Structure 1
Amino acid sequence: MAYSNNDLSRFLDAQNKLYLTALAEIKKGKKETHWMWFIFPQIKGLGTSDTSNLYAIADLKEASEFLEHPILGKHLIEISEILLTFKRKSADGILGDLDARKLRSSMTLFSMTENTNPIFQEVLDAFFSGESDPLTISIINSTIKSSTEAVTI
């Protein structure tokens, strides 16, 4: 199915099939299948695969819309809260190295929205020593037209 830019239905379609699987895997503390792109989306410009491009978030506006969505926002917060119950483990141990990096960039993205939830910074604190992903910040800053709105690390 083809989706237009900023069409959140692409996430709903994917999550309708695999959200419960993702949730069950996180509850067990070990990711086993492929769902990272649409459960913990990243800013556009990080991934190169067709799948990562399909589920890339265009900008902070789309990230805010994702969070405001009654299903997508709820799912992201819920699975992030469950992930925090394993904060004694490493993100690499739960997700694997590549997906741990995707988690860091996703949490960075959603921590920067105006309608953020503290859970995103809590995940960064627990698994990444509170450090945001600098490449995500750089990409977001490059999409912001006004230099007065730029974010620093």
Structure 2
Amino acid sequence: MSDKFDLDRFVTKHQEDYETALSEIQQGKKQSHWMWYIFPQLKGLGKSDRAEFYGIASLPEAVAFLQHPLLGSHLKEITTALLPQTATAREIFGKPDDRKLHSSMTLFALVEDDSLFQDVLDKFFAGVYDEKTLKLLGIR
């Protein structure tokens, strides 16, 4: 499965940076550069080389990311760690990473029956899905 979508591009970075990312979220403030591969968003939303390289190309790739034993568990763990935070997404992530979180949570809420990603949308984005993500997917 990881060969079809080249999920190994994420695995390497998770092995390097996931613990730092989790610690920063638990402390309530993102301080280093890991957003692209920890909370990936749909390809085409970001314009940087990293955004393109780590962009998720389709809903099936998002499903594969969630089903990957390391990547899916990391995404769920760090998303769960985000929920108790009392600051806003902008205060935790800064700009524009707060928008990246919005698009990432929208993407994964669309492919996961578990309410975890919807819970983040509800808490930080008034339950509203990211419009740009929906448009790129042809949903709106």
Q: TM-score range by the shorter chain?
A: over 0.9
| Residue pair 1:30, 1:95 contacting (<8 A) in 2 also | yes
Residue of structure 2 in register with 1:40 after alignment: 39
Report the residue type matching 1:101 in the other structure.
R
DSSP 3-state at the match of 2:79: helix
Choose from 118, 121, 124 the match for 2:121.
124
1:6: Cα distance to partner?
1.9
1:44: Cα distance to partner?
0.8
**Structure 2 CA distance for aligned equivalents of residues 140 and 6 of structure 1:** 17
Structure exhibiting the larger radius of gyration computed from Cα positions: 1
| Residue pair 1:110, 1:116 contacting (<8 A) in 2 also | no
Residue of structure 2 in register with 1:18 after alignment: 17
**Structure 2 CA distance for aligned equivalents of residues 27 and 127 of structure 1:** 16
Residue of structure 2 in register with 1:97 after alignment: 95
1:116: Cα distance to partner?
3.8
What is the 5 A alignment of 1:48-67? 48-67=47-66
Q: TM-score w.r.t. structure 1 length?
A: 0.87
| Residues 56-94 of structure 1: per-residue CA shift (max 9 Å, x gap) | 0000000000001111000001000000010x2100000
Residue of structure 1 in register with 2:136 after alignment: 139
DSSP 3-state at the match of 2:9: helix
| Residues 86-114 of structure 1: per-residue CA shift (max 9 Å, x gap) | 0x21000000021000000000000111x
**Structure 2 CA distance for aligned equivalents of residues 91 and 107 of structure 1:** 12
1:5: Cα distance to partner?
7.0
Aligned structure 1 segments of 4 or more residues deviating by more than 2 angstroms: none
Consecutive unaligned residues of structure 1, counting only runs of 5 or more, are: 142-150
Consecutive unaligned residues of structure 2, counting only runs of 5 or more, are: none
Q: Calculate the aligned-residue CA RMSD, in Å.
A: 1.2
The structure-2 alpha-carbon separation of the partners of 1:116 and 1:44, relative to structure 1 and needing over 3 Å to count, comes to farther
Residue of structure 2 in register with 1:146 after alignment: none
